[in-house]
Structure 1
Amino acid sequence: MGMLVSAGTTIQCSFGAAPSALTVLPASGVLAGAPAATIMDHAPMVNVMPFGMCSCMANPMVAAATAAALGALTPVGCLPMTTAPWMPGSPTVLIGNFPALQDASKLMCMWGGVISVVAPAQFTAQVP
Structure 2
Amino acid sequence: MAHQVTMGAMLQCSCGTAPSSLNVLPLKRVLAEGPPAANIMDHAPMVNIMPFGMCNSLANPTVASATAAAMGVLTPMPCIPMTVAPWIPGAPTVLIANQPALNNNSKCLCTWGGSISVTNPATVKTLLP
Q: TM-score range by the shorter chain?
A: over 0.9
Q: Which runs of 5+ in 2 are unaligned?
A: none
Residue number in structure 2 paired with 1:64: 65
- State the TM-score, normalized to the length of structure 2: 0.98
Residues in 2 aligned to 1:39 and 1:99: alpha-carbon distance in whole angstroms:
6
Of all paired residues, the percent bearing the same amino acid is 62
* Matched AA of 1:65: A
Write the deviation string for residues 61-96 of structure 1: whole angstroms up to 9, x where unpaired.
000000000000000000000000000010200011
Residues in 1 aligned to 2:14 and 2:53: alpha-carbon distance in whole angstroms:
12
Residue number in structure 2 paired with 1:16: 16
3-state SS, counterpart of residue 93 of structure 1? strand
* Matched AA of 1:37: A
Write the deviation string for residues 88-121 of structure 1: whole angstroms up to 9, x where unpaired.
0102000111000000000000000000000111
- State the TM-score, normalized to the length of structure 1: 0.99
Q: CA deviation at 1:28?
A: 2.3
Residue number in structure 1 paired with 2:4: 4
* Matched AA of 1:22: L
Residue number in structure 1 paired with 2:41: 40
Structure 1 stretches (4+) deviating beyond 4 angstroms? none
* Matched AA of 2:28: S
CA RMSD of aligned residues (A): 0.5
Q: CA deviation at 1:54?
A: 0.2
Residues in 1 aligned to 2:16 and 2:39: alpha-carbon distance in whole angstroms:
23
